[in-house]
Structure 1
Amino acid sequence: MTQKLLLVDGHSILNRAFYGMPDLTNAEGLHTNAVIGFLNIFFKLLDDENPDYVVVAFDTSAPTFRHDIFKEYKGTRKPMPQELHEQVPLLKEVLDSMGVRRYEQPGLEADDILGTLAKRAEAQGMIVTLVSGDRDLLQIASDNILIANPKTKGGQTTVERYHTQEVIDEWGVTPEKFVELKALMGDSSDNIPGVPKVGPKTAKELMQTYGSIAGIYEHVEEITKNAIRESLKANKESCDLSYTLALIKTDADFELPWDSAKRVNYLNENAYKEYKRLGFKRLLSKFSEEVVNNAFASLETAFTGGSSKNSGFGNGSANNNGTDVANSSNDGFSAGSGFGISEGSSAKGGSSDMNCDLEIENILRNVPQKVDVTSVTSFDEAQKIIQEAKDYAKGHDDRFIGFSVIEDSKDAEDFIGLGISFENGKAYFLRNTEKFTAEYAGKVLEDLSKDCRLATFDIKNTYHLFTPYEIDSKKAKGNFDILIGAYLLNPLKDDYTPEDIAGEHLGRMMKSYKERFGKRSLKELIEVPMQMTLDLGIPMPEEDTKKKSKKAAAPEILPEDALKQIVEYAGEVANTAMHGAFILEKKLEDAKMAGLMQEVEMPLSYVLYSMEKEGIICRRDALKDYGDKLAGRIAELEQNIYKEAGEEFNINSPKQLGVILFEKLGYEGGKKTKTGYSTSADVLEKLAPEHPFVRDILEYRGLAKLKSTYADGLADYIESDNRIHTVFNQTITATGRISSSEPNLQNIPMRTELGRAIRKVFVPRDGYVFADADYSQVELRILADMCADEGLLEDYRSGKDIHRATASKVFHTPFDEVTDTQRRNAKAVNFGIVYGISVFGLANDLGISREEAKGYMEGYFLTYPGVKAYQEGAVAFAKEHGYSITTFGRRRPIPELKESNFMRRQFGERVAMNAPIQGTAADIMKIAMIRVFMRLRKENLKSRLILQIHDELLIETAPDEVEVVKNLLTEEMQKAADLKVPLIAECSIGKDWFEAK
């Protein structure tokens, strides 16, 4: 059987992947898009070609023989973007972990290596596929050598394929003559000069007419075009030089035994570990279960310093009697006190980053890869372990008890067990038994919370079992959520998992929940499946055996294996939480965010849990009526649109709508793309003022979205108590703002009257009312505080309408004579400045010329020079440190500031201006929520905080507590921060959310 060789041009394909994939970075901050794109192409090629041998060739930085004969060779190439440059060694590391044969040699280009290997293989009877984005290699094509040219766009890869005939069809010459074609027309990317005035079309015509360069020069006087003829005659040396530069060597001097390139299982254990380390999550699914298991089985299980009974981290470690013993390797690592909310934060990090890194490195040496987990079913043994944990951690702020709750749902009957860890590399899984129930586990956690510090992943998801002690009582330091800690240190990640945190902060590799269990129910996995037959050696009740086929399939995972996986997972999460909490807190202290963690984010997690538990009543009947009303107006708009268009068409089809607007009706401003005319919102909004037809379409779109998202969509989330229990997300946004999902109530519309009407379906419980308060222009007030511009501060302190005051100064108009248009424009500038808006953006927003917008912004900065100084300072700080910082110390990394792409850097500068303001607003709202919640709880009121939307808080208020709640709500919101200008919160009361707002 004929063998097959796959050759890959490493740099070329990596470059194609870089520009074809969106920018991606992993937890370490490494750019990974090119490597992931390369691997996507690589695996597709393996599937398509099924080769026996594989080689990936790379260029080196050393000069080649081509540079020796022409120093300017490739001299016009721009430097490789830094984001791509850093991925070259990364790709080589990945290929090495996979066992892929790669080759490079100083003095040779990858093309020469590939060309030589291709011809060697062909001579030995092999079939070759050579993959490169460089068309130079078409000269190597033959009936046995395929040149594959992949193109990647939007993450999708297609491959153009060339044998001899395809080269002839496209270029009009054989592969052997393709190099002569290039010698004539030159190549600007490689700085091969070619013959001036001879482009691709002319070169192709000349080669087809005369057959070769030699033939062209033999008949050069016959060429009728004077300019071409004279250029050929004058540039013969350039043509010969170009031929030499373009000719790929097929006899390069190097040895590469085919056995070294034999295809092996590239999805092996080492590759899995490397993919896991680099965060290639989507590619992990390619690995077999056996490889994954072997990868974890191969991890070192040795413990530093022996069994390390009770050897937690801190100033010392407790022995079996609970007394302190010296531990020199951990001396000096006790947690610091952090900062109070009123103290703010310095701009710099904490003490020396190097010292912190060395401390953490010393600690990590003691963290084992493998966790020894013991399953416990004895109630007495479970109590003993709990007491040991308490003895170890009680009274020690720098010791954590890690825990994990394993359950299929928050119903008590779905509780499976509690993972607990307080020893180095050791954990216990306390299984659900008749005595050790969900309720008992909650009491255990509550009791431990009183005297110790608990640590877990996603603590909000465990509060249904217990109330943390520090919510109602004073405690120096409370519990710790490693999810929130990891988020604060890197708020740019898409998601956070226990295994991510273990890998990034502990250097530990963990199997993910999905890798272990997929989407299967845990309780079903550990219970004996009813379809199992006697063939598996498990007896079944007689009534069940009659119903089941004797050929019933065995389950994918046997109960004892599933239980083993559950025990391991519970213990690993608990142990990772214990170790991770200490490491993360240390890093947060160094970043001056320990106070933010303990005094804001951790208390907030319980506030959000309480709000989720309470939920908000949504009237089904009112929601249906609202949907019917929308449907009626949508139908009316449909008929109006069809009438104006003169035909019925799919209004939701951009392609059909584009034809109607710009061809049939002849509206100006159509932007044609590959798929038709653009009918995006910004295009339609420019047409709307002059065309009622377009206004109808915009209204139709808005109402259709309202109906699908809210009128129809919300109904699915109303539970048996007639309430919607949205999920509040604390670790999603880069700026620290809270978001919500299932459903997303943060996007409840406010711009249109019909959109606002959706709030009428949300009502309080019988007899209660809603108290709704929101901040007035909180971000603008924060800007004034941060820039300390005396004019802006005075405008706020005077209590004047800030937009009218700005218009008065910018447009040099007496305050009382400012027009509505002037105020509207000033408002756009005020809010635009907060978001670092550009002249172009402001012009678009206001529908004015760029010159006019530029004048507005220049006038604004002349009026308030402190604002410009703040913006420049914020950008300079972010460029120096790599992150922005809020008043309360929250950091927002801005890697875009270092990118080579100009547009991305500009985006980074806008983020640097805006993130401190938005982040401070988020912090203020969080502090306000905590203060309001604690006041309601402390004063034992019946009223409950149930919703937070942007700058707004909603309380379901008992009728006899209305005045108390109104005062409490505004008072605590206004005291949430001490700014140079007053924080204003305005409260109103209503029988539904619409009326309250």
Structure 2
Amino acid sequence: MASKLLLVDGHSILNRAFYGMPDLTNSEGLHTNAVIGFLNIFFKLLDEENPDYVVVAFDTSAPTFRHNIFKEYKGTRKPMPAELHEQVPLLKEVLDTMGVRRYEEPGLEADDILGTLAKRAESQGMIVTLVSGDRDLLQIASDNILIANPKTKGGQTTVERYHTQEVIDEWGVTPEKFVELKALMGDSSDNIPGVPKVGPKTAKELMQTYGSIAGIYEHVEEITKNAIRESLKANKESCDLSYTLALIKTDADFELPWDSAKRVNYLNENAYKEYKRLGFKRLLSKFSQEVVDKAFASVGESGNTNAVDAAFNAASNEASNAADPNGIASNGEAIKGAALDGVSFDKASAGAADTSNLNTKSSSTGNIEEAGDNQDEIIINLLKQVPQQIEAISVTSFDEAEDIIRKAKEYAAGNNDRFIGYSVIEDSKDPDDFIGLGISYENGKAYFLRHTEKFTLEYAGKVLEDLSKDCRLTTFDIKNTYHLFTPYEIDHKKEKGDFDILIGAYLLNPLKDDYTPEDIAGEHLGRMMRSYKERFGKSSLKELIEVPQQMTLDLGIPMPADDDSAKKSSKKSKKALEPQILPEDALKQIVEYAAEIANTSLLAAPIIEKKLANTKMLDLMNDIEMPLSFVLYSMEKEGIICRRDALKEYGDQLTGRIAELERNIYKEAGEEFNINSPKQLGVILFEKLGYEGGKKTKTGYSTSADVLDKLAPEHPFVKDILEYRALTKLKSTYADGLADYIESDNRIHTVFNQTITATGRISSSEPNLQNIPMRTELGRAIRKVFVPKDGYVFADADYSQVELRILADMCADEGLLEDYRSGKDIHRATASKVFHTPFEEVTDTQRRNAKAVNFGIVYGISVFGLANDLGISREEAKGYMEEYFKTYPGVKAYQEASVAYAKDHGYSITTFGRRRPIPELRESNFMRRQFGERVAMNAPIQGTAADIMKVAMIRVFMRLRKENLKSRLILQIHDELLIETAPDEVDVVKSLLTEEMQKAADLKVPLIAECSVGSDWFEAK
């Protein structure tokens, strides 16, 4: 059987992948979409073609012979986008680690290398597949040489394939004659001139009629079209030059032994390490378990220098870039002081933890606080001490566990700035699902204290609570471990508190979609760590330990008594007994996983803390984010009562109205159709009913909200459709969806997410209560199903126009400051000035327009956006904005300063020092840069609002706790706080709620919080 050769045009396929994949960056800030897209195509081709030999060819920057004969060759090409350019060396590095043979030669284009190798292989009896996005290579096609042209769109790749016949079918000429076709019609992408007036259609007709360029010129006088005939006669030299430029060399002089291109296992250990380092998570699943195991086994005991450099560069920012943007963060100290006023959290020092006495096998890790100006050097030195492999010790003896805990306390005693890393391994907060506690206080060593009859969840919590008094506990996602213990600093003074490496990593890079222990290990320690999925697959830990008795005993988990409950338990999960669910080394994997998280937390905490200090975000971490984590845990634990009966009634009400709307819609349409089908709805609206404004796409007419919103004022039918959409979403999301989240205590315990949004805002999930509707009466009615416990009421307070007040503070525009200080309705005051109307005579329409401008300015709205929002012309919207900026010139100055600062530094900054990276400002795409400018204007405002709310939550929570009140903070939504209030505490809660919210920041204008009380959330709001 003939050998098969796969040839790949490196630059061409990388370019195709870049434009076919969404923009992606990894933790180091490198753009990776083109490389990932290239690899997707590459692996697809390997599967389909199954080649014996593989070569990837690249162009070089050196001029080729074509440039020597025509200096303007490829002269019209735009420069490669920076986001793509940086991925060329990255792809080459990745291919090298995989062991893929790549080749480039100064003076030759990749096409010449590929053409030569293809014809050379064909002459030696090989079958060839040549992969390129360049149609020039169709001239190389033959019965033995396949030209594969990949097309990537939306991350999906298809391949068009050409042998000799396919070229003839599509172009009407043989592959050998395709170069003549190109010589005639030219190629604007390569700046090959061709013959003027001869396009693809004419060129094909001429070639099919006369067979060749020579034949065309032999019969040129027979050509009936004067313009074509005269152009051919006048441009013979251009045609000949174009032929020379377009002709791919198939006899280039270079040596490439086939043995060097022999296909090997490209999914090898080195490739795995590189994919892991670069964050190619989805591609990691391609590696075999054997390769993964070997990759980890091959990692030495000392850190890898390249990994250390990558880890340092990934998250470390220049301390010199921390200056405030033209006074944008001028109130930082005042607000930080306000955040701690009357609260037991002490302001932490800017230094990182003392790690000088870590019991390392090698030298000391050093004391960061003594570093002075050598901060970066200290971090690098710490990174070099990080071992790639750690000693994970499983402990089942209670006496041995006690001895380890004693040693940990001795290590921490009198050194309350020392870190001890820990991990809690469980499947839920049910004590029966507690598996064990990981603990690490030595470099390169960690213990897993297994769940036994004596070492219970309660005992593990007591251990952590005791350690919290004398040291700084650190882990990944500390909020999910607070059910074990209360950190000492919550109720007592402590110089430095506990530390969450998840939150720290988030602050350093808030743009990531996800954060995992292995990500943090790689980014901040240069350590390779197996992910949960790599260790346990799709199985839960509970499935791994719900196994026959012997395995259960090996894990140190007591068997239940031999009674009915035990029998029921044994039947609970037949799947867990299946051999494929239970890895032979399940216990070993659990122990290693717990140990790695604990040790990674121990070593990453001081490094992340130092990076936070370098970026001036350590106060933000210590004073706000860490105490907030306990506040959020407490709110999740409390939950909010949701009445099932009221929820059902609400659903029934929606069902009735939805049915009524359906009848109205079908009657107006004259037929029944699927209202939820955009395609069917589009036909009804724009064809049957003949409404104007239809925008037809490949899949039919667009029926998006913005399209329907424009039609609704003139067409009641469209209003019904919009209401139908809103109500069906309400029913599915809330009336039906919320019921699944009501637990046995009749409460919904939503999860508050602290590390999701780039601006720092808190979000919620399971379910998302942040999106509770407010715009429509029926939407707001959902709040009636949320009630306090018997005898209690809800106290609800929210900020009034907090983002606009922050804008006034940041821009310091005297006119805007005066409007707020006067206590006037800000939107009416704005309308009065912008529309030159006496305050008392401002109409409702003018006020509404002014409100749209006010809030639009906060979000960096464009003239086009404002025109759409208000349904006015662009000229009118432009006039509104120009008048606004004339009225409040400080706002425009603030926006310009914010954008300039972000362009200079690469990030925006809030009053509290929170950074929001804005890589879009440096992208080549104009629309992306414009988006970046809007972010630069808005992020400092929105981020500061988020920080103020967090400070307010801490202050309110601590007041309730310190005054030993029965009332509890249970919910936060955007600018709103909700307290389940005891009947005898209503007045004090209303007072402290508004007081602490208004004291959360010291702005140039007053912060206003308005509080109300009600028997349910609807009434309270």
Instruction: Tell me the residue number matched to 2:495.
Output: 476
Instruction: Tell me the residue number matched to 1:251.
Output: 251
Asked if structure 2 preserves the Cα contact closer than 8 Å seen for 1:57 and 1:110, the reply is: yes
Q: 1:944-973 CA distances to partner (integer Å, 9 max, x unpaired)?
A: 000000000000001111001000100000
Counterpart of 1:694 (choices 715, 718, 722) is 718
Distance 2:449 2:163 in 1: 65
1:899 aligns with 2:923: yes
With the length of structure 1 as denominator, give the TM-score of the two structures.
0.94
- The aligned amino acid for 2:589 is Q
Q: CA deviation at 1:614?
A: 0.5
- SS for the counterpart of 1:14 is helix
- SS for the counterpart of 2:703 is coil
Distance 1:989 1:526 in 2: 49
Asked if structure 2 preserves the Cα contact closer than 8 Å seen for 1:877 and 1:884, the reply is: yes
1:592 aligns with 2:611: no
Q: CA deviation at 1:334?
A: 2.5
Asked if structure 1 preserves the Cα contact closer than 8 Å seen for 2:277 and 2:522, the reply is: yes
Distance 1:47 1:697 in 2: 48
- The aligned amino acid for 2:964 is N
Q: CA deviation at 1:155?
A: 0.4
Q: 1:634-690 CA distances to partner (integer Å, 9 max, x unpaired)?
A: 111111011111111110000000001101111100000000000000000000000
- The aligned amino acid for 1:511 is R
Counterpart of 1:419 (choices 438, 445, 460) is 438
Taking a change above 3 Å as real, the CA distance of residues 762 and 499 of structure 1, as seen in their structure-2 partners, is: same
Instruction: Tell me the residue number matched to 2:458.
Output: 439
Q: 1:603-648 CA distances to partner (integer Å, 9 max, x unpaired)?
A: 0000000000000000111111111111111111111011111111
Asked if structure 2 preserves the Cα contact closer than 8 Å seen for 1:835 and 1:913, the reply is: yes
Counterpart of 1:644 (choices 659, 665, 668) is 668
Q: CA deviation at 1:530?
A: 7.4
Instruction: Tell me the residue number matched to 2:177.
Output: 177
Counterpart of 1:742 (choices 761, 766, 769) is 766
Distance 1:369 1:804 in 2: 63
1:623 aligns with 2:647: yes
Instruction: Tell me the residue number matched to 1:575.
Output: 599
Asked if structure 1 preserves the Cα contact closer than 8 Å seen for 2:24 and 2:31, the reply is: yes
1:759 aligns with 2:783: yes
Taking a change above 3 Å as real, the CA distance of residues 681 and 313 of structure 1, as seen in their structure-2 partners, is: closer
Distance 1:814 1:837 in 2: 27
- The aligned amino acid for 1:633 is R
Asked if structure 2 preserves the Cα contact closer than 8 Å seen for 1:943 and 1:958, the reply is: yes
Distance 2:501 2:913 in 1: 19
Distance 1:316 1:426 in 2: 15
Q: Which stretch has the larger CA shift, 919-928 or 511-520?
A: 511-520
Q: Which stretch has the larger CA shift, 98-107 or 177-186?
A: 98-107
- SS for the counterpart of 1:465 is coil
Q: CA deviation at 1:396?
A: 2.9
1:776 aligns with 2:800: yes
- The aligned amino acid for 2:448 is F
Aligned positions of 1:540-555 closer than 5 A: 555=579
Distance 1:129 1:394 in 2: 68
Distance 1:319 1:467 in 2: 26
Distance 1:886 1:126 in 2: 63
Q: 1:890-915 CA distances to partner (integer Å, 9 max, x unpaired)?
A: 00000000000000000000000000
Distance 2:802 2:871 in 1: 26
- The aligned amino acid for 1:39 is L
- SS for the counterpart of 1:405 is strand
Taking a change above 3 Å as real, the CA distance of residues 327 and 866 of structure 1, as seen in their structure-2 partners, is: farther
Asked if structure 2 preserves the Cα contact closer than 8 Å seen for 1:315 and 1:330, the reply is: no
- SS for the counterpart of 2:368 is coil
Q: CA deviation at 1:359?
A: 1.7
Q: CA deviation at 1:560?
A: 5.8
Runs of 4+ in structure 1 deviating by more than 4 angstroms, as ranges, are 312-316, 325-332, 557-560
Q: CA deviation at 1:559?
A: 6.6
Q: CA deviation at 1:3?
A: 1.5
- SS for the counterpart of 1:953 is strand
Distance 1:772 1:522 in 2: 41
Q: 1:60-105 CA distances to partner (integer Å, 9 max, x unpaired)?
A: 0000010011010000000000000000000011111111111111
Instruction: Tell me the residue number matched to 2:339.
Output: none
Instruction: Tell me the residue number matched to 1:502.
Output: 521
Q: CA deviation at 1:332?
A: 4.5
Asked if structure 2 preserves the Cα contact closer than 8 Å seen for 1:313 and 1:330, the reply is: no
- SS for the counterpart of 1:334 is helix
Taking a change above 3 Å as real, the CA distance of residues 303 and 591 of structure 1, as seen in their structure-2 partners, is: closer
Taking a change above 3 Å as real, the CA distance of residues 107 and 10 of structure 1, as seen in their structure-2 partners, is: same
Instruction: Tell me the residue number matched to 1:824.
Output: 848
Distance 1:395 1:275 in 2: 43
Counterpart of 1:719 (choices 735, 743, 746) is 743
Instruction: Tell me the residue number matched to 2:317.
Output: none
- The aligned amino acid for 1:53 is Y
Counterpart of 1:940 (choices 946, 954, 964) is 964
Instruction: Tell me the residue number matched to 1:632.
Output: 656
Asked if structure 2 preserves the Cα contact closer than 8 Å seen for 1:101 and 1:261, the reply is: yes
Distance 1:554 1:887 in 2: 56
Q: CA deviation at 1:356?
A: 2.8
Distance 1:227 1:906 in 2: 45
Instruction: Tell me the residue number matched to 1:385.
Output: 404
Counterpart of 2:356 (choices 302, 309, 317) is 317
- The aligned amino acid for 1:483 is L
Q: CA deviation at 1:724?
A: 0.4
Aligned positions of 1:55-134 closer than 5 A: 55-134=55-134
Taking a change above 3 Å as real, the CA distance of residues 7 and 872 of structure 1, as seen in their structure-2 partners, is: same
Q: 1:473-518 CA distances to partner (integer Å, 9 max, x unpaired)?
A: 1111100000000000000000100000000000000000111012
Distance 1:529 1:906 in 2: 60
Instruction: Tell me the residue number matched to 2:319.
Output: none
Asked if structure 1 preserves the Cα contact closer than 8 Å seen for 2:908 and 2:916, the reply is: yes
Distance 2:895 2:244 in 1: 55
1:233 aligns with 2:233: yes
Distance 1:27 1:710 in 2: 36
- Count of residues paired in the alignment: 961
1:212 aligns with 2:212: yes
Q: 1:436-469 CA distances to partner (integer Å, 9 max, x unpaired)?
A: 1110000000000011100000000000100111
Q: 1:348-404 CA distances to partner (integer Å, 9 max, x unpaired)?
A: xxx96xx43222101111111001111111212212211212222333354200000
Distance 1:330 1:565 in 2: 28
- SS for the counterpart of 1:556 is helix
Aligned positions of 1:189-208 closer than 5 A: 189-208=189-208
Q: 1:803-832 CA distances to partner (integer Å, 9 max, x unpaired)?
A: 000000000100000000000000000000
Identity %: 88
Q: CA deviation at 1:7?
A: 0.7
- The aligned amino acid for 2:634 is S
- The aligned amino acid for 1:333 is I
Instruction: Tell me the residue number matched to 1:16.
Output: 16
Q: CA deviation at 1:263?
A: 1.0
Distance 2:864 2:56 in 1: 46
With the length of structure 2 as denominator, give the TM-score of the two structures.
0.92
Distance 1:870 1:218 in 2: 71
Asked if structure 2 preserves the Cα contact closer than 8 Å seen for 1:6 and 1:53, the reply is: yes
Q: 1:904-940 CA distances to partner (integer Å, 9 max, x unpaired)?
A: 0000000000000000000000000000000001011
Q: 1:241-283 CA distances to partner (integer Å, 9 max, x unpaired)?
A: 0000000011111111111111111111111100000000111
Asked if structure 2 preserves the Cα contact closer than 8 Å seen for 1:399 and 1:582, the reply is: no
Asked if structure 2 preserves the Cα contact closer than 8 Å seen for 1:130 and 1:146, the reply is: yes
Q: CA deviation at 1:526?
A: 3.9
Distance 1:524 1:738 in 2: 33
Asked if structure 1 preserves the Cα contact closer than 8 Å seen for 2:365 and 2:385, the reply is: no
- SS for the counterpart of 2:595 is helix
- SS for the counterpart of 2:369 is coil
Q: CA deviation at 1:527?
A: 5.2
Instruction: Tell me the residue number matched to 2:389.
Output: 370
Aligned positions of 1:899-978 closer than 5 A: 899-978=923-1002
Q: CA deviation at 1:528?
A: 4.0
Taking a change above 3 Å as real, the CA distance of residues 464 and 881 of structure 1, as seen in their structure-2 partners, is: same
Asked if structure 1 preserves the Cα contact closer than 8 Å seen for 2:358 and 2:365, the reply is: no
Taking a change above 3 Å as real, the CA distance of residues 314 and 823 of structure 1, as seen in their structure-2 partners, is: closer
